[in-house]
């Protein structure tokens, strides 16, 4: 269990505050995630890109209280209870372990899942120069991987389902035991953290399956796109940049929202292998303002939306293999824009 996580969540509950108010809507997912974290379980959030998974994990870490760590210890050892080989060797030789305080934000590390990610990236590797100097079995020759730097904090593992089966197995041992045993070393490295991992929806093409044994280590929660146009509008107004001197009418805001939401709904949903996320909504909202500014106009128009939609949405959607627009995302966007604008006129 990591220090302060439970206390932090309970404090928000006692004060009657929504700890995850940074995420608009998604009430059921937020409840589940908080319950899992309160129970010190690892959480796997399933959902499409751009629904706020990273924001949520970062926010959890930032809310954690500061902790005392040994200065320069990559594993964030507690000065009074050093656990890593480096600090223990120092303590054994009578060297004082200087403590410094780090903030909650510093107790957060982010890993990006990809087929190229190796066990060495994750757990660590031997530095040949140091190994030559101290001998290969010496802890000073070991360069810790990113996962070990998450000790006593939150590890955010984005797109966990993109890593190889071999890596999933390596991770399993760490999650099960809270320690990492590294190849030639007969010492264990501390790896006590809470993992918040994400996974794209299973039906999407090009995605590996997570092994059942690894899945078994996680509580699963699902997050989706904003539930209603009103919520999406709310997100836009809270997080979208406003350009000075530019007025944005309700009509423009509602059209931007309707356009992006159309990629997730029938009849367009079946044309998409990946629909557009809130990032597309924000991008389009900001770009139409920029265009008005460039032209010295006081407000963006529907024509600005037509002009900017392909660049804001085109790279964020993927046409499905069944769609006649499979090789032509911009064609798909143009068709969609035409149809949505036509419908809104009625």
Rank residues 84 and 154 by Cβ distance to Zn ion and give the closer one.
84
At its nearest, how many Å lie between Zn ion and the CB of residue 115?
A: 32
Looking at the DSSP bridge assignments, the partners of residue 181 are: 188
Contact between 53 and 22 under an 8 Å Cβ cutoff? The reply is: no
Q: Which is nearer to Zn ion, 23 or 84 (CB)?
A: 84
Between 193 and 218, whose beta carbon lies closer to Zn ion?
Answer: 193
Virtual CA dihedral for 262, 265, 266, 267, nearest 10 degrees?
Answer: 30
Is the CB of 52 or the CB of 150 nearer to Zn ion? Answer: 150
Return the residue nearest Zn ion (CB atom). 77
Nearest approach in angstroms of CB 61 to Zn ion is 20
| Residue 93 backbone phi and psi in degrees, to 5 | -85, 5
Kindly write out the interface string for residues 60-79 of this chain, putting x where it contacts Zn ion by CB under 5 A and - elsewhere.
Answer: -------------x-x-x--
Which tokens in the block code for residue 1? 């269990």
Determine if 196 is a binding residue for Zn ion (CB under 5 A): no
Report phi then psi at 318, rounded to 5.
Answer: -130, 120
Q: How many chain residues are in contact with Zn ion, going by CB under 5 A? A: 5
- Distance CA(236)–CA(283), nearest Å, equals 10
Q: Does 84 bind Zn ion (CB under 5 A)?
A: yes
Stretch that binds Zn ion, among 87-95, 177-185, 230-238, 330-338 (CB under 5 A): 87-95
Closest to 148 in 3D by CA, of 122, 125, 173: 122
Minimum Å distance from CB 135 to Zn ion?
20
Part in contact with Zn ion (CB under 5 A); list of ranges 48-56, 58-66, 81-89, 128-136: 81-89
Selected binder of Zn ion within 60, 87, 275, 340 (CB under 5 A): 87
CB of 95 to Zn ion, least distance (A): 12
Show Cβ contacts of residue 228 under 8 Å, excluding neighbours closer than 6 positions. 25
Q: Is the peptide bond before 217 cis (omega within 30 degrees of 0)?
A: no
Residues numbered 213-242 forming contacts with Zn ion, rule: CB under 5 A: none
Residues in the chain: 346
Please report the DSSP string for 131-177 in residue order.
HHHH-TTSGGGEEE-GGGGGTTSEEEEETGGGS-HHHHHHHHHHHHH
Asked if 199 touches Zn ion (CB under 5 A), the answer is no
Dihedral sign computed on CA atoms, order 82, 87, 93, 95:
negative
Least CB distance to Zn ion at residue 228 (A): 48
List residues binding Zn ion (CB under 5 A).
73, 75, 77, 84, 87
């Amino acid at each position: 269990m990591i220090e302060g996580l439970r206390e932090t969540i309970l404090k928000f509950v006692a004060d009657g505050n929504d700890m995850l108010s940074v995420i608009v809507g998604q009430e059921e997912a937020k409840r589940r995630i908080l319950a899992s974290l309160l129970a010190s379980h690892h959480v796997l959030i399933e959902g499409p890109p751009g629904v706020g998974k990273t924001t949520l994990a970062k926010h959890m870490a930032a809310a954690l209280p500061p902790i005392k760590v040994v200065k320069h210890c990559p594993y964030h050892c507690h000065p009074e209870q050093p656990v890593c080989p480096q600090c223990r060797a120092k303590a054994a030789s009578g060297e004082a372990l200087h403590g410094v305080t780090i903030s909650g934000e510093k107790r957060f590390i982010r890993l990006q899942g990809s087929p190229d990610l190796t066990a060495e990236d994750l757990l660590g590797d031997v530095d040949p120069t140091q190994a030559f100097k101290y001998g290969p079995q010496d802890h000073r020759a070991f360069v810790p991987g990113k996962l070990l730097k998450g000790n006593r904090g939150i590890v955010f593992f984005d797109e966990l389902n993109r890593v190889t089966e071999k890596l999933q197995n390596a991770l399993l041992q760490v999650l099960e035991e809270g320690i990492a045993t590294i190849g030639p070393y007969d010492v264990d490295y501390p790896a006590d953290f809470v993992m918040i991992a994400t996974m794209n929806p299973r039906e999407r093409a090009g995605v590996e399956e997570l092994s059942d044994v690894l899945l078994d280590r996680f509580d699963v929660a699902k997050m989706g796109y904003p539930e209603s146009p009103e919520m999406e509008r709310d997100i836009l107004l809270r997080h979208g940049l406003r350009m000075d001197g530019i007025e944005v009418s309700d009509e423009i805001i509602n059209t931007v929202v309707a356009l992006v939401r159309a990629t997730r709904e029938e009849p367009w949903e079946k044309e998409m292998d990946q629909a557009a996320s809130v990032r597309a909504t924000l991008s389009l909202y900001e770009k139409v303002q920029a265009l008005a500014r460039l032209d010295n106009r006081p407000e963006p128009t529907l024509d600005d939306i037509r002009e900017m939609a392909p660049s804001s949405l085109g790279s964020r959607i993927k046409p499905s293999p069944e769609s006649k627009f499979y090789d032509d995302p911009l064609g798909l966007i143009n068709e969609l824009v035409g149809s949505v604008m036509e419908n809104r006129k009625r």
